[in-house]
Amino acid sequence: MTAQTQAKKSPQIIDGKAFAAELRQRVADAVPAFQQAAGRSPGLAVVLVGEDPASQVYVRSKHKATIAAGMESFEHRLDTNVSQDDLLTLIDQLNTDDAVDGILVQLPLPDHMDDKAVIAAIDPAKDVDGFHVVNAGRLAVGEEAMVPCTPLGSLMLLKHALGDLSGMDAVVVGRSNIVGKPMAQLLLRENCTVTLAHSRTRNLADVVRRADIVVAAVGRAEMVRGDWLKSGAVVIDVGINRLPPAEGAEKGRLVGDVATDEALRADVAAITPVPGGVGPMTIACLMRNTLVAACRRAGLADPEGL
């Protein structure tokens, strides 16, 4: 090995799965104190409308994680053809049910429903997804909010990789209300200089090349190429894209929004893999948010170290 290759620091593949397991354990460790103080367990209600296979997988893993954390899981599965009014009635019941601390309505909803109206019906105090406009507004103005799980988990991984983010150039690609926009808010709160890029951004590759921190949340398989990344950048790949199955295979491979192998060859400092990166952090942060919501509803201090 030459001196040069020896000196080159090998890039770190951030183990989101292991980090998420640790976070889930910290949540589980904090649950007994809540039970002692509140006389009940934290409870999470998950509502799934329809039979989308990917959504069913996510809902099952959320249920398992909730039970594993020592919390109560309430699952509500509704027929695809249920009316929006019936869904709103269920949400009302969950809002007033004292055993329910968190409410998550799995997205996407069927086409005959209005996602915004459904999210608006959730009590902001129980909005563990952080999708309600009240929580989005609180995050934007710097008040105590429920923070969306995927950006929150992404930020935890960034701080783990980099420590203090202050002054860094961060580029977020994708401006959805559930990932890109709240991610930009969180990075701003950490004193990054934030660029929020989207489908109308000109010279996207040049914009991304300036970044110390890149968060890709686009939903386009391997769109971010290796030559878009500056050496030493830290890359968070939020994308979950299922490729078409290879000849004879049942399921296609899961890839992110970043061409990971190219990124590694481009000498990034650290990158999250897909699978095993941000995805598991989303579920761990949902557990965290549920416990936080339970504490706040019970008038208890936020759990420490979460």
Ligand X SMILES: NC(=O)C1=CN([C@@H]2O[C@H](COP(=O)(O)OP(=O)(O)OC[C@H]3O[C@@H](n4cnc5c(N)ncnc54)[C@H](OP(=O)(O)O)[C@@H]3O)[C@@H](O)[C@H]2O)C=CC1
Sole window of 39-47, 187-195, 232-240, 263-271 interacting with ligand X (rule: CB under 6 A): 232-240
**Per-residue contact flags (x/-) with ligand GUE for residues 261 to 280, judged by CB under 6 A:** -------------xxx--xx
Nearest residue (CB) to ligand GUE, 165 versus 272:
272
Element (H, E) at 60: helix 53-68
Catalytic residues: 62, 106, 129
Rule CB under 6 A: which of 102-161 touch ligand GUE?
Answer: 104-107, 129, 149
The single residue among 19, 34, 58, 228 that binds ligand GUE, judged by CB under 6 A, is: 58
* 122 within 8 A of 105, measured Cβ to Cβ: yes
Rule CB under 6 A: which of 242-281 touch ligand X?
Answer: 278-279
The single residue among 122, 183, 218, 266 that binds ligand X, judged by CB under 6 A, is: 218
The yes or no reply on residue 241 touching ligand X (CB under 6 A) is: yes
User: Residue 176, annotated ligand binder?
Assistant: yes
- CA atoms of 9 and 299, how far apart (whole Å): 48
> Which residue type does 27 have?
V
User: Residue 252, annotated ligand binder?
Assistant: no
User: Residue 226, annotated ligand binder?
Assistant: no
CA 268 from chain center: how many Å? 22
Rule CB under 6 A: which of 93-152 touch ligand X?
Answer: 150
**Per-residue contact flags (x/-) with ligand X for residues 147 to 186, judged by CB under 6 A:** ---x----------------------xxxx-xxx------
- CA atoms of 303 and 288, how far apart (whole Å): 9
Min dist CB 279 to ligand GUE, Å, is 2
Of 147, 217, 213, nearest to 180 by C-alpha is 217
Of 87, 80, 77, 139, nearest to 117 by C-alpha is 87
* 3-state DSSP of 70-119: CCEEEEEEECCCCCHHHHHHHHHHHHHCCCCCEEEECCCCCCCCCHHHHH
